[in-house]
Amino acid sequence: MTRYTRVAAALHWLIAVAILANFVFGTWMVDLDLSPAKLRYYSYHKWLGVSVFLLVLVRIAWRIGHRPPALPTHMPTWERVAAGVSHFALYGLTLAVPLSGWLFSSAKGFKTVYFALIPIPDLLAKNPALADTLKLWHLSLNYVMALLILLHVAAALKHHFMDRDDVLVRMWPFGRSATGAKS
């Protein structure tokens, strides 16, 4: 079995955990009453979002330099196409979701200051009407991403338990690197 590189697997799981955490956190924090804590949570949410964006860029760069292991030979063409399209869409969404959040924040009139230290320049000026539109985009992109992630997880489980191939195992973080014996 050819595994993903350790770096590729580490980035995959780090980003997965960060996205899941920020999705749950973001969904929870928006309904809180205004308080200093809420302001802090919004900042944390943005910082984590910026981090995800940067990590995805690193991940894409790594992937360009390190070809992932080939798909199992038993997969029919439609599955290969579906896998390609959904992976491509996942990369796109993991960039688009933080991007939309950042634009939404700018349009709301709140600059994003990474870790309260590094101001990220605003691409948009304050514009309440545009902010409403971007809020909708940020939410919609999140839900589309969540759906795709569910599909992604379902496919990984199908490969593992039904097809009994190595698709899940080769990305699994705990295991032998390179070629290993695992039935």
Partner 1 sequence: MKCWFALLALVALPVGAAPLAVDLAKSEITFQSKQMGVPVDGKVRKFAMQLDFDAKKPEAGSVKIELDAASIDAGSDEANAELVKRGWMDAAKFPKATFVSSSVKTLPGGRFEVTGKMTIKGITRDLSAPFTVKAQGTAQLFEGAFVLKRLEFKIGEGAWSDTETVADEVQIRFKVLANPAPK
User: Nearest distance from residue 116's CB to partner 1, in Å?
Assistant: 3
If the CB atoms of residues 13 and 115 are measured against partner 1, the closer one turns out to be: 115
Footprint (CB under 8 A) of partner 1, residues 28-47? 34-37, 39-40, 42-43
If the CB atoms of residues 116 and 162 are measured against partner 1, the closer one turns out to be: 116
Residue 77 CB contacts under 8 Å (≥ 6 apart), including other chains: none
User: Nearest distance from residue 112's CB to partner 1, in Å?
Assistant: 7
114 strand-pairing partners: 118
- Give yes or no for residue 85 binding partner 1 (CB under 8 A): no
d(CA 105, CA 107): 5
Phi then psi for 51, rounded to 5 degrees? -60, -45
Query: CB of 67 within 8 A of CB of 15?
Result: no
If the CB atoms of residues 39 and 85 are measured against partner 1, the closer one turns out to be: 39
Footprint (CB under 8 A) of partner 1, residues 86-125? 108-113, 116-117
DSSP sequence for 82-118: HHHHHHHHHHHHHHHHHHHHHHHHHHHT--EEETTTE
165 token code pair: 């191939």
User: Nearest distance from residue 36's CB to partner 1, in Å?
Assistant: 4
- Binding region for partner 1 (CB under 8 A): 34-37, 39-40, 42-43, 108-113, 116-117, 126
